Structures are given as C-alpha cells and as structure tokens.
Structure 1
Amino acid sequence: MNSKEVEIITQTISFVKETLKNAEGGHDWFHIERVYKNALLIAKEETVDEFIVSLGALLHDIADAKFHNGDETVGPKVAREFLENVHVSENVIVHVENIISNISFKGGNFNQKFTSPELDVIQDADRLDAIGAIGIARCFNYGGFKNRKLYDPAIPVNMNMTKEQYKKSTTPTINHFYEKLLLLRDKMNTTTGRKIAEQRHAYMEQFLDQFYGEWNGER
C-alpha cells in the first residue's frame, strides 16, 4: 500500500473503534481487529488488493443488520459515507459495499450476488472468528445477549431455514453450532482458511462432546 492508503487505513481503524465502542461483545472492535489480522494473514497467500482487503475487513460489521432491525442496507451506507469523507475512489467504495452486503452466512441458504478474491479472504477471516474457542465464546455471548436457552433437547435443530427464518430464529445456543458453526469449515474459500478451520472445528467437536457428557450427568 502507498502512504495515502496507509493513512486511510489508520483513519478507518479510528472510525471503527469509535463507532463500535459500545457494541455487543461478539461484534465489537476486538472482533473487527481479529478479522482484520486474519484477513491480512490469509491475504499473504492470495492474489488480492491489500487495501480493499483491509477496508473490507475493518468495515464489514460497521452496522451489523442484527442490531439494526434486520436492515442490511445500513452497513453499506455507513461505510460509503465514511469512505467518501476520506476520499476513497468510487470503484473501491463499490467493492467494499459489495463485500459488506455478501459476507454474511444468512442461514447458509443465501446465494451471493457478488464474488471477488478480496471477499473470499475476508469471508474466511470472519468465519474463522465464528469457530474454535473464540467462536464458542461469541456464540454463548450472543445467546445471552438475546436471552436464549443454552440447550433444550426438545427443540430440534433446523437445517433448512430461509434467510428470513434464520434472522428471526430464537434457537437455543447449542442448536446454533449445528445450524451454522459446524458448517463453516467446509465453506472456506482459501487454502489458509481451510487449514486454520480444521483445528478450530475439531475443538468445537470436543467441546460438544464434553457439554453433552456434563448435561447428561456422565462426566
């Protein structure tokens, strides 16, 4: 990146920190920072525009639809306003908007309307933060935030939710492992993402085994 781009990234970091200073713990600045770092790590092995990867990673959750009544247009709008203010070119702004609009899992039954190597990298980085030890912590944090049950054996896992059903789901937190987290390993786009996901996926399987053992009074 050139000096102007580096300065814009510095401004973006400050903007995101300020915007998300009171965010829910699983979608706060520290989530953004982890995704940003993982995206840069993955990008080293890919042919991508590092500036777009950096901006997309930093702004991907600037206004998550979950916290804006499901409105998926807010994030791209906020990102555009900021990027215009720091004089980023229109083609880069459009690319970042498309990344924000297409990065989410949305129940796994959502067909992306946009693809790019930069989106692939950021999507992998974001999904890596949803699995493994931190993924487990974030899952239960959000479940508590939404006052969801930890687990209810009487409530079955729903693997066929539409995007709208997924957004409105009140599923117990353990069900969410099957409805999203355990599916992410096989949805990775990059070689580096897949390698990291393997270990984190195995850790979640070990956690669930322990969880059920304790739940059933076997351990």
Structure 2
Amino acid sequence: MSLAAARYRAHVAAVWAAGPSDGAHDLGHLARVWANARKIALDEPEVDVSVLEAAVWFHDLVNLPKNSPDRARASTLSADAAVAFLRSDGFPAEKLPAVAHAIAAHSFSAGIAPETPEARILQDADRLEALGAIGLARMFLISGRMGGGIVDMDDPMALHRPLDDKAFALDHLEVKLLGLPATMQTRTGRLMAEERAEWMMSFRSRLLAEIG
C-alpha cells in the first residue's frame, strides 16, 4: 500500500467509525475494488494512477443505506467530501475534478456516464464486487439487513409472480446482477464480469436443486 493510500484508508476508517457499520461496504470492500482496478488498468491506456487510487479509496466515503431516499446522491456527496480532504492533504488541484468525476460516476443509482479512463475503471472495479462469490455474500448480507428472505419457496424463479428483490434475495440476480456484464466499460472488466456471472448462475442452479 502506498503512503497516500495509507492516509486515505485511515481517513475513511475515521469517517466510517462515526456512522453505522455496513459489512458490505467496509475497508475490505475498498481493498478488493483497488485490486480489481489495478488489474483492469493494466490493459487501459492513459490512466492516471494517482487519480484512480484516490477515487477508489474514497468512492464510498459517504455511505448511505440501499433503502435511503438519498441513495442516488451518495456518490456525489462522496466526491465532494473526497475533494475537501484531498485539497487539505496536498493532492494536485488540477487533478481534483478527475477524482470527483470518477467517484460520482461509479454509482449504479446515480446514472452518471463515466467519461475518463479512471471513471470507467472504477465503475467496472466496483461492479465486480456485486458479482461472483463475494457478490453473492454481499447480496445476502444486504438483503438480510433490509429484512428480506433468501428465496420464495413457492416460486423461486418468479415464473408466476413479479420479481421482488426487496422480499427475496435470489430475485436480485435477475433484477440487477446478471445484467451487469453488459454494462461494463472495459474489455478486462467485461471478461471478469462474465466469468463471475456464470459462476453465480451455477450457484443458483445448485440452490434450486437443494430446495427441490
């Protein structure tokens, strides 16, 4: 971990310590997103690593619950808070807009199109966290936290009812997660997403087999 990243991590930890805990958005999440981002960046041209590193570590600085009415504003609030800290930390002023844009554009709910290499990489790196084994773990954790169940035992695949991922965690695969590979902005991110989504479908098949 770079010296800058160590400062960023410490600041995020201090900010989060003052709020409610969220096992799906913790320091481990940030470390995994940074690992994803570094892997994707190897195949992307003209990436400013200092911008990408700062954006990754601060992308969830303002972390609002999934069911918060202000959820769509979380990424822009995080961007504002990140810029304020980075300015005081001596980060190059001319790079602050790029950090802010990458953070603001990473969010699915914000609906902001990524316009820079760093923004595209961060969006892909973060969305990979919603796929694969870690994606399933986070999906069930968040669903349980919000009062949802695992699966509708009467109609697990929603063949005769509307999908409802607030009531049943498994529905979230069709509602959102299995569509994420098509939204990926980079070739490497898309390949990683497709592999993870395929694994999730295998898990669903096993789950359905076990519940009969």
Q: After TM superposition, is the score higher than 0.5?
A: yes
Residues 86-95 or 172-181, more deviating: 86-95
Give the TM-score normalised by the residue count of structure 2: 0.84
Structure 2 partner of 1:63 = 62
Structure 2 partner of 1:164 = none
Deviation, 1:115, is: 1.4
Partners of 2:9 and 2:27 within 8 A in 1:
no
Structure 1 partner of 2:80 = 77
Structure 2 partner of 1:147 = 147
- RMSD (Å) for aligned C-alpha atoms: 2.2
Structure 1 partner of 2:163 = 157
Structure 1 partner of 2:117 = 117
Partners of 1:26 and 1:141 within 8 A in 2:
yes
Q: Distance in 2 between matches of 1:94 and 1:200?
A: 32
Partners of 2:114 and 2:120 within 8 A in 1:
no
Deviation, 1:149, is: 2.0
Q: Distance in 2 between matches of 1:35 and 1:157?
A: 29
Partners of 2:106 and 2:114 within 8 A in 1:
no
Q: Which amino acid aligns with 1:151?
A: V
Q: Distance in 2 between matches of 1:94 and 1:40?
A: 21
Q: Which ranges of 4 or more aligned residues in structure 1 deviate by more than 4 Å?
A: none
Count how many residue pairs are aligned between Structure 1 and Structure 2.
Answer: 198
1:106-157 superposed Cα distances (whole Å, 9 cap, x missing partner): 2xxx642551111111111111111000000000011111111222336522
- State whether structure 2 residue 131 is matched by structure 1 residue 128: no
Give the TM-score normalised by the residue count of structure 1: 0.81
Partners of 1:8 and 1:86 within 8 A in 2:
no
Partners of 1:150 and 1:173 within 8 A in 2:
yes
Structure 1 partner of 2:21 = 23
Q: Which amino acid aligns with 1:103?
A: H
Note the residue ranges of structure 1 that are not aligned, 5 or more in a row: 1-5, 159-168
Q: Distance in 2 between matches of 1:31 and 1:111?
A: 21
Q: How does 1:1-219 map to 2 (within 5 A)?
A: 6-21=2-17, 23-47=21-45, 48-66=47-65, 69-70=69-70, 72=73, 73-106=76-109, 111-152=111-152, 153=155, 155-157=161-163, 170-215=166-211, 217=212
